[in-house]
Structure 1
Amino acid sequence: MTAPALIVRVLIWLLPVVLTLMPVSVCRALESEAPIDLSALSTGRAIALVESMQVLQQPLGQVSPAAEVLSRPGWRPATVANRNASWKRSAVWLTGLVTQHGDRPLACRITLAPTRIGTVEMLALDAQTGAVLARRLEGPRMLEQVRTVDHVEAMLPFDLAPGQTVRLLIRAEDLTVATTEVTARDESAYVRHQALSLLGEAVMFTLTLLLCLLVLCSRDRGMIVVGGWLLAGVCFESLFSGQLLLMLLPALLPWNVGLFTLLGALCTGLFGVATLVLLRLDARQRWPLLLLASAALGVVVGLSAFFVTDANPARMAVNRIGFITLLLWPLAAWRSPAPLDEERHRLRWMLTLSWAVLLVYVMLARGAPHPQALQLLQDELRLDRLVIGATLMVQFSIWRNRRRTAGRRAEFLAFHDALTGLPNRVSAGERLQQALDRQAPEPDATLAVLYLDLDKFKQVNDTHGHALGDRLLRAVAERMRASLGEAGSVFRLSGDEFMAIVPEAGPDGERARALAEALLAAMEPPLDLGGQQVPAGLSIGMALAPRHGRDAETLMRHADAALYAAKRDGERRLMLFAPPMLAWLTERMQLRAALHRSLRQGDFRLEFQPQCRLCDGRITGVEALLRWRLPDGTVPASPERFIPVAEESGLIVPLGDWVLDEACRQAAAWPELVVAVNVSAMQFRGGDFSGRVAAALARHGLPAHRLELELTESVLIGHEDEALRWLAELRAMGVRLAIDDFGTGYSSLSYLHRFPVHRLKIDRSFIQQMESAGPAGEATLVAAILQIARRLGLETVAEGVESPAMLTRLARMGCDVAQGHAIAQPLPSQEMRRWLDAQTDRPQVAATTA
C-alpha cells in the first residue's frame, strides 16, 4: 500500500472519532466556565452578564433546538467584537453559569435588551443534570401571537438556592440583532427597574407632547418642524426598545416593525427638512434638492413596510437611505448659500452636532464593529434626544428674540412713523399737551405749533414714482431735524404733512418765526436723491399758545388752518393763524363731509357736452361732465371746488367709478357716438382698472370703441412701464384713449410716441388766450401742438371754444375736433338726446361757420 493511500485510510478512520469527541470538547470548554456569583443581587444591585457569557451564531434558517445547541461547535467568548458585526442576519445563542453563595434562596430576574428583538427564548438549566428549571418564550413576535401583554421586555424568572449553580441559555433571533445586554436582578430590583423604566417613558412622552403643543401654539415654522422631529424620535425609541407604548396599545404589536421603520425614516427626513427651514436654504438648489429627495425616498420606503409580508428588507433599505441622506447633509448645509447672520451660524453648528449623533446612531444600527464606549454613550445619555432638544431650544431663543424685537417694533410704530422714524400724530398730540401743561404756570411763556407741508409733492410722486417720493420724505425729515436742532421737535402727521413744536417761541412768537423762516431757507436747495435733483419747497402754518389756544387739539386745528391759507396763497410761505382762516378750513371740512354724504345718497349727476368734427361739422362724440346737485335743486359747489377736495380725501376713486358706470349706462341708449370720461390718477392706479372698465362695458352692453378715457399727463409720467401695460390692455379691449389738458403738464414727445393713445386734447387756457389782445404766442403754441399730433398720427380736440370765429380759425389751422359753448353747453342726458335728434334737421356746424 502506498503512503498516500495509507494516509487517506487513517483520516477516514479518525474522522468519526473527531466528530464524536468535538462536542465533548466543546461541552468540556463550557463546563470549565467560572460561574458568576449573583449574591450581590440581594443588595439591590444589577449585574451585567453578557461579557462573562459565551456566544454561538447560527443562520436564521438552521437554528438548533435548545436541547442540542450546547453540543454544537463554534462557541466563543461574548466579547464586543464577537457581538457586533457577526450577529447580522443571525440567530444568536448566549450561555453562562450563575450561582449564589448566600444563605437564603434568591429570586432572580434575567432580562434581555433591546426589547424589539423579534423572538427571545430563555432557559434556566440545572448545571449538573441539564434539567429545565425555567423557560420563557418572549419578544414582540411571540407577544403578537398570543395577543397578551403584561410586559414587553424579555424576562426569565427563576429561584436560585444557596450554593446552586444554574446554566442560562438564551436565544435572540432576528434579522439584525443589535448589541444585546443580559442583566440579572432580584425580584424587588426588577420591579423597581420596570416601574422606573415605564415612568421614565411616560414622563418623556408627556413632556414631548406638551412641548409639541407649545410649539404648535408658537406658529413658528422652524419650531414646528423640530418639534415633529423630536416626537418622531421619541416614538421610534419607544417602539424600538421601550415598553409603554406597546403595553398601552397592544394593537400596535402586529405593526411594530413597520412603525419603527417608518419612524426611523421620518427622523432622518425631518432632520433634513428642519435643516432647510432653519437655515433658510433654497430647496431648488442642487444639494438641498438631493437631500430632500433622499429623505422623501426614505419615508416612501418606510411606508412600504406596512404592505409587505416581511418588513425586514424595508428596514435595511431605510437604514441605507438614511445613511445616504446623512452623507448628503454636510454638502447641503455647508456648501449652499444661506443668510450668514449670527442666528443661522448657531443653528448650523447645532445641526452639525445633531448630524454627528445621527450618523453614529445609523452606524450602530447597521451592525458594524464599534467600541463599547460608543454604545454606552448612545444608550445611557440618549444624545439623539439631547441634540434635538438643544436645537429646539436654540430655535426657541431665536423665536423669542424675534417676538421681542417685533414687540418693540410694534411699540415703536405705535408712536413713530415707519418711513422717517419721526414721532407720529399720536405722539404729536401727547407731546404738545405735555408741553402746554408745563407752560401753564408761566403766563408769559409762548409756545408755537408749526404745520409744514411739501409743495407739489403729488407731482413728484406722479413724475418720479412713489419710491423716490419716500426717499424725498426721509431726506426732508433729516433736514427738518437738522434745522430745528434742540430748539424744537419734529413729527410726521401723514403723507407730506409734518408738525413742529417750539416750546420757547419768544415774545409774540418771534423766535418761532425765525426758526420757521430758517426751515423755509433750508428747503430752498433741491435735494440730491441718487444723482437726481428734486425740489422740496415748504409751506408753513403757525399757531401760538396761549394766544390761539390753550389745548393741543385747538392749536393743531388752528395751525392746520394757517397751513391751508399759506398753500392757497402760493408756495414757500409762512402764515400765522387768523380767525378767518378757520372759517375757510371749516368750510372745506364740511365740503368733504357733504361729498361723502352725497355719494351715498346719489346726489351727483352727469351732463354731456358734444364734440364736433371741424371738417364736416358732424357730432362724433360727447364728454361726460360731473355735476353736484341736491334734490332741492341747489348746487353745493362747482367741479373746480369739489374735485380737488375729492382727490385729497380719496373719494375720487369711488366717484370716478360711478361716473364711468353711469356714462356707459346712458351712452348705451344713444346713437353711434363716443362718450369721453375723465380718469383721475388715483382711479387709474387703484388696482385692476382695466377689469373695472371691462365690467362696466359688459354690464350695460356698450361696445368698447364707443368709450374714450381721458387721462392727464401726470397719470402717465413716473410710471411709464406700468402705464404702458395698462394702456395696452385697454387698447386691446378696443377702448379709445386721449391725453387731457395737453400742454399744461410735462408734455413729453417720448411718452406720446410710446403710449398707445388716439387723441390729444388741447387745454382750454390756450384756446381762450388765442382770443386775447396778444394771441400770437398762444396761436403759435397751439399750431405746434397740432403739428406734433399730425406727425404722430393723433387726432386733436380743442376744448373751451366759445365763438364761431374760433371754430373757423381752428379748422383752418388743421384741428380735428372742437368742444365748447360755440357748439353747445353741457346738457343732462335727456336734453342731450333731444339736442342730438335736432341736429339731423339743421345745417352742419362747419357749414354755418365757414
Structure 2
Amino acid sequence: MDESTAYEPARNGRRGTRATPISLVTMAAVALCVVVLGAVIVGVVRNGPAAAEPLVWPLIAALLLNLAVMVAGRRRHRNVTRQLRLQLDSTEGARRLSPKDPLTGFLNRRALVEEGTTMLQEAAQRQLAVAMLMIDLDRFKTINDLHGHGTGDVLLARVAAEISNELPPVSLAARVGGDEFACLFVFNPADPNTVQRVAERLVSRLTRPLDLGGTSLHVSASIGIAHSDQERTTVEALIRASDIAMYAAKEAGRNRFSWFDPDMARALHARHELETALRAAIPAGQIVPHFEQQMDLNTGQLLGFEVLARWNHPLHGQISPDRFIPIAEQTGMIADLSQTLMRQAFLAARDWDPALTISINVSAVQLRDAWLPQKIIKLLLETGFPAHRLEIEITERALFENLALAQSIIGSLKNQGISVALDDFGTGYSSLGHLRAMPFDRIKIERSFVQVIAEDQDSAALVGAVASVGASLNLPVTAEGIEDLATEARMRALGCARGQGYLYGRPADAANTRRLLAERRLLGAGSAASDAERRLAG
C-alpha cells in the first residue's frame, strides 16, 4: 500500500467537512433567529410587552428565513438519500457481478459455471475429460459454534489456500457454499488415477491440524468426484453428480472421497420418493403396529408383545422398516410415526388380558425431546391403556447420546409406572456403572448374537456374560431372534427369562393377534363377550 492510498480516506474526510453555501445560509438564519428572539425576551423582561413591538417584524423575517432553510434542507436530504441509495445499489450490483468470492479469492458459482463451460469445450476438442471435485468440510458448524464465525472465516480462507496447493496448475476452484468448495481440472480419461491422487492428497492435507493465530483446529473433508462423459456434458450436471458422491462419502463415515456412480442418483431418487410417500403415509394410517410374542422360557406362557412398525403401502405392499425408519429419523418424522403407532397399539391392546404387556421402541431422536414422557402419558390417558402394562425400550447407543437427558426421561417414565428396558445390549458402550445408575427393569440381547450362538463361541460367551450381569443386578434378560428349539434351550440354560422370535410365530397385525388371544382365552371379559356377540350377529 503506498502513502497516497493509505491516506486517501483522511483526505476524503476533510473534503466532507468543508463549508457549503447551504450550510452558511443555515447557520446565518439560525443565528439571526436566536439574536432577534433573545432581544425580544430581554426587552419584555426589562420593559414589559410594549418593548417587543419594534422587534416583531425582524422576528417574523427570521422565522420565515428559518422555514425556507428547513424546506431547502428537506429537499437536500432527499437528494442525498437518493444518491446514497444509488451508490449502494451500484456497489451491491458490482459485488454480485464480481467473479470472485471475497473471503477466499476463489471463483463464485456463477463464474465457475461460465469458465467451466469453456474448460469443458476445450477439453472435448482435445479428447480429454474434466473432473469435478466437490469438497465439503466435516462438522464445520461445530467450529463456528465453539470458536465464532470470525475464526470460521479465517479457517475457510486457510482451507482454500490448502486446496489451491494441491490442485493441478491448470484448474478452477470455487466456493459454492458456506463450507463447500468445487474444483475443476482437465485429465486424460485413460488415466483416472490422476484424479484419485489429487483427491487422496486433499483428504490427507485437510486432516492436518491448522494453526490459526495460536489456535490449533482439526478439520476434515468429504469429497465427491465426478467426471465429464456422454451423460454429464455441463458444469451443472457435474456439480449435481459430485454433490451426490460427496454425500455418499459423508454417509460412509466422512474424511474420505467417493466416485459418483449412477446407482447413487437412482438410490437418491428412490429415497426421495419414499420420503414423500412416508409423509403422506403417517397421517393416512398406513403405518400400523404388528405384535411379536414374548414368551416365558421356563413355563412357555405368553407374557406380552413387542410392537413393530409395518408399512402397508397401497401400491408397493409391505415396506420393510429397515427402509423407512432411518428416513423417519433423519427427517424428524419419527416422533409423529411413533405417536401414531403407540396410539394404535394402545387402542388395540387395552382390552386384552390385564397380565399382558406391550413393549415399544423409542429412537435416539425421540430421546432428545425432554417432553417425551409427557407425550407418552398423554396418549395413555387418551386411550385408557394402563401405564403398568407398557414397557419402553431404549437402545444402548441411543442412551449415551445424551446420558443426562436420558436419565431424566427414564426417571419420569418410571415415576408413572412405565417399565423401561435396555434394548440391543452388547452393541454399544454400557458398563456396570451405567446399568446401576439407570433404573432399568430388563435387558434385551440383540438378535444377531442369539442367532449365531451355536456357531460362534464369542457370541455364546457374550450372551452368557449378559445373562450373568442381569442376574447380578436382578434384571431379567430377554433374548431376541429365537428361531428354533435348540436356541431356545440354550437361552434357557444361560439364564434368559424371556424370549421372542419366529419360533413363536411371525409378528401379526392387530386383527390376527386378537384372534390368537381369543383362541387362548386371553381377552378381557368384556372384550370376549363383545367378540361373541359380533360372531352371533354375523
* Residue in 2 that maps onto 1:433: 113
- Pairing 1:739–2:387 present: no
Q: Are the aligned partners of 2:370 and 2:409 in contact in 1 as well (CA < 8 Å)?
A: no
Match of residue 291, structure 2, among 608, 621, 628: 608
Measured in 1, the distance between the counterparts of 2:394 and 2:491 equals 23
Q: Are the aligned partners of 1:786 and 1:814 in contact in 2 as well (CA < 8 Å)?
A: yes
* Residue in 2 that maps onto 1:106: none
Measured in 2, the distance between the counterparts of 1:778 and 1:687 equals 36
Deviations 1:474-514 (A, max 9, x none): 799788546423536475869xxx75422224223554322
* Residue in 2 that maps onto 1:593: 276
Measured in 2, the distance between the counterparts of 1:428 and 1:617 equals 69
* Residue in 2 that maps onto 1:786: 467
Deviation at 1:691, TM superposition (A): 2.4
Measured in 1, the distance between the counterparts of 2:424 and 2:476 equals 14
- CA spacing shift, 1:49–1:830, aligned 2, 3 Å: closer
Q: CA RMSD in A?
A: 4.7
Match of residue 669, structure 1, among 342, 348, 351: 351
Measured in 1, the distance between the counterparts of 2:185 and 2:435 equals 54
* Residue in 1 that maps onto 2:382: 699
Q: Are the aligned partners of 1:767 and 1:800 in contact in 2 as well (CA < 8 Å)?
A: yes
Deviations 1:171-215 (A, max 9, x none): xxxxxxxxxxxxx44x2314644x589889999xx99xx9xxxxx
- Pairing 1:551–2:208 present: no
* Residue in 1 that maps onto 2:332: 650
Q: Report the residue type matching 1:690 in the other structure.
A: P
* Residue in 2 that maps onto 1:830: 511
- CA spacing shift, 1:449–1:632, aligned 2, 3 Å: closer
Measured in 2, the distance between the counterparts of 1:728 and 1:655 equals 24
- CA spacing shift, 1:738–1:558, aligned 2, 3 Å: same
Measured in 2, the distance between the counterparts of 1:815 and 1:567 equals 39
- CA spacing shift, 1:618–1:664, aligned 2, 3 Å: same
SS of 2:317's partner is coil
Q: Are the aligned partners of 2:480 and 2:499 in contact in 1 as well (CA < 8 Å)?
A: yes
* Residue in 2 that maps onto 1:14: none
Measured in 2, the distance between the counterparts of 1:736 and 1:416 equals 60
- Pairing 1:713–2:393 present: no
- CA spacing shift, 1:467–1:828, aligned 2, 3 Å: farther
* Residue in 2 that maps onto 1:810: 491
- CA spacing shift, 1:718–1:552, aligned 2, 3 Å: same
Q: Are the aligned partners of 1:504 and 1:511 in contact in 2 as well (CA < 8 Å)?
A: no
Match of residue 111, structure 1, among 38, 44, 48: 44
- Pairing 1:188–2:54 present: yes
Q: Are the aligned partners of 2:443 and 2:477 in contact in 1 as well (CA < 8 Å)?
A: yes
Measured in 1, the distance between the counterparts of 2:132 and 2:465 equals 49
- CA spacing shift, 1:200–1:719, aligned 2, 3 Å: farther
Measured in 1, the distance between the counterparts of 2:143 and 2:500 equals 33
What is the identity percentage for the equivalent residue pairs of Structure 1 and Structure 2? 30
Q: Are the aligned partners of 2:135 and 2:182 in contact in 1 as well (CA < 8 Å)?
A: no
Deviation at 1:608, TM superposition (A): 0.6
Structure 2 gaps, min length 5: 1-35, 75-87, 523-538
Measured in 2, the distance between the counterparts of 1:728 and 1:683 equals 15
Match of residue 485, structure 1, among 161, 164, 174: 164
Deviations 1:239-259 (A, max 9, x none): xxxxxxxxxxxxxxxxxxxxx
Deviations 1:736-786 (A, max 9, x none): 2222211112223333232232222111011011022xx322111111112
- CA spacing shift, 1:713–1:423, aligned 2, 3 Å: farther
- CA spacing shift, 1:829–1:436, aligned 2, 3 Å: same
Match of residue 367, structure 2, among 681, 684, 691: 684
Deviation at 1:831, TM superposition (A): 1.1
Measured in 1, the distance between the counterparts of 2:464 and 2:437 equals 22
Specify which structure has the bigger relative contact order, considering alpha-carbon pairs within 8 angstroms and separated by 6 or more residues.
2
Measured in 2, the distance between the counterparts of 1:816 and 1:536 equals 48
Q: Report the residue type matching 1:651 in the other structure.
A: M
Measured in 1, the distance between the counterparts of 2:491 and 2:453 equals 10
SS of 1:629's partner is strand
- CA spacing shift, 1:787–1:730, aligned 2, 3 Å: same
SS of 1:617's partner is coil
Measured in 1, the distance between the counterparts of 2:41 and 2:253 equals 101
Q: Are the aligned partners of 1:505 and 1:511 in contact in 2 as well (CA < 8 Å)?
A: no
SS of 1:822's partner is helix
SS of 1:745's partner is coil
Measured in 2, the distance between the counterparts of 1:564 and 1:516 equals 15
* Residue in 1 that maps onto 2:479: 798
Q: Report the residue type matching 1:710 in the other structure.
A: E
SS of 2:365's partner is helix
Q: Are the aligned partners of 1:799 and 1:820 in contact in 2 as well (CA < 8 Å)?
A: yes
Q: Higher Cα Rg: structure 1 or 2?
A: 1
* Residue in 1 that maps onto 2:224: 541
* Residue in 2 that maps onto 1:584: 267
- CA spacing shift, 1:791–1:527, aligned 2, 3 Å: farther
* Residue in 2 that maps onto 1:626: 309
1:170-189 alignment to 2 at 5 Å? 184-185=51-52, 187-189=53-55
Q: Are the aligned partners of 1:505 and 1:512 in contact in 2 as well (CA < 8 Å)?
A: no
Q: Report the residue type matching 1:741 in the other structure.
A: D
SS of 1:517's partner is helix
Deviations 1:4-38 (A, max 9, x none): xxxxxxxxxxxxxxxxxxxxxxxxxxxxxxxxxxx
Q: Are the aligned partners of 1:449 and 1:499 in contact in 2 as well (CA < 8 Å)?
A: no
SS of 2:44's partner is strand
* Residue in 1 that maps onto 2:409: 726
1:227-238 alignment to 2 at 5 Å? none
SS of 1:450's partner is strand
Measured in 2, the distance between the counterparts of 1:483 and 1:611 equals 58
Q: Are the aligned partners of 1:659 and 1:677 in contact in 2 as well (CA < 8 Å)?
A: no
Q: Report the residue type matching 1:681 in the other structure.
A: A
SS of 1:800's partner is coil
Q: Are the aligned partners of 1:450 and 1:542 in contact in 2 as well (CA < 8 Å)?
A: yes
Measured in 2, the distance between the counterparts of 1:466 and 1:716 equals 27
- CA spacing shift, 1:534–1:596, aligned 2, 3 Å: farther
SS of 1:437's partner is helix
| TM-score between the two structures when normalised by the length of structure 1 | 0.45
SS of 2:45's partner is strand
Measured in 2, the distance between the counterparts of 1:621 and 1:516 equals 54
Q: Report the residue type matching 1:675 in the other structure.
A: I
Measured in 1, the distance between the counterparts of 2:365 and 2:134 equals 25
- CA spacing shift, 1:561–1:721, aligned 2, 3 Å: same
Match of residue 450, structure 2, among 767, 777, 780: 767
Measured in 2, the distance between the counterparts of 1:469 and 1:834 equals 61
Deviation at 1:818, TM superposition (A): 1.0
Q: Are the aligned partners of 1:652 and 1:683 in contact in 2 as well (CA < 8 Å)?
A: yes
Moved more, 737-746 or 760-769: 737-746
Q: Are the aligned partners of 2:136 and 2:181 in contact in 1 as well (CA < 8 Å)?
A: no
Structure 1 gaps, min length 5: 1-43, 51-109, 114-121, 123-154, 158-183, 211-403, 842-850
Q: Are the aligned partners of 2:129 and 2:228 in contact in 1 as well (CA < 8 Å)?
A: yes
- CA spacing shift, 1:201–1:735, aligned 2, 3 Å: farther
Q: Report the residue type matching 1:434 in the other structure.
A: E
Equivalenced residues, count = 448
Q: Report the residue type matching 1:811 in the other structure.
A: R
Deviation at 1:828, TM superposition (A): 0.4
Deviations 1:395-441 (A, max 9, x none): xxxxxxxxx9xx99xx99xx999xxx9999xx975454234234244
Deviation at 1:614, TM superposition (A): 2.4
- CA spacing shift, 1:454–1:515, aligned 2, 3 Å: same
* Residue in 1 that maps onto 2:500: 819
Q: Are the aligned partners of 1:675 and 1:706 in contact in 2 as well (CA < 8 Å)?
A: yes
* Residue in 2 that maps onto 1:299: none
